[in-house]
Amino acid sequence: MPRVCALDVGVATAIRRHGEETFPHECCGALIGRDDRVIAAVGLPNTTEEGPRRRFLVRPLDYRMAEQKASELGGELLGFYHSHPDHPARPSQFDLDHAWPNFAYVIVSVMAGVSKVMTVWYLKEDRSSFDEGTLNGDENSDSDSPSPVHG
């Protein structure tokens, strides 16, 4: 059974809006909640120096801030989200190489400035690939788009 990541009302919309606002650059942010239920998506600055059209980076200081924010909200850090501008919502080799275990990685595809498919992924324990989870609570899910291929 795929692991389920449940988004509270408004979370999916916030992620989609962030991805559209930063298009054609990637957006990124933290997922805060408890027990696979996300209560808040907190946008963070994309500080990559490798080109924000295809990369994102959350610096250690921003990571620390996200953990602090999670405590303030009475939850914990469940993972991170980011966008793939004009690319599918499936993890890349770069995503895999940089992934942390036990985190949910939500990816939203933003095509020509409009958010489309949103997916969630979890790193396998042996770091060989991701397992796709089931994302619940995406009130704007794009049902016309094809399912993403496993990375």
Partner 1 sequence: MATKILIPTPLRPYTDKQEAVEATGATVGELLADLTTKYAGLKAHLYNEQGKLRSFVNIYLNDEDIRYMQKDQTPVTANDTVSIIPSVAGGWGI
Residue ranges in contact with partner 1 by CB under 8 A: 26, 28, 48, 50, 54-60, 63-64, 67, 70, 76-77, 80, 82, 84-85, 87, 91-95, 98-103, 105, 126-127
* Shortest separation between residue 37's beta carbon and partner 1, angstroms: 15
Whichever of 127 and 139 has its CB closer to partner 1, that residue is 127
Q: State which residue, 71 or 139, has the beta carbon closest to partner 1.
A: 71
Cα 14 to Cα 27: distance, rounded to the nearest angstrom: 11
CB 121 within 8 A of CB 2: no
End-to-end CA gap in the chain: 18
| Min dist. Cβ of residue 59 to partner 1 (A) | 6
Min. distance of Cβ 15 from partner 1 in angstroms?
14
Closest CA to 29 of 3, 1, 4, 7: 7
**Helix, strand or coil for residue 68?**
helix
- Tokens of residue 96, six digits: 């895999």
Nearer to partner 1, 98 or 139 (CB): 98
CA-based diameter of the chain, in Å? 39
Q: Given the complex with partner 1, which of 101 and 139 has the nearer CB atom? A: 101
Least CB distance to partner 1 at residue 81 (A)? 10
Question: CB-hemisphere CA count at 13 Å for 62?
Answer: 15
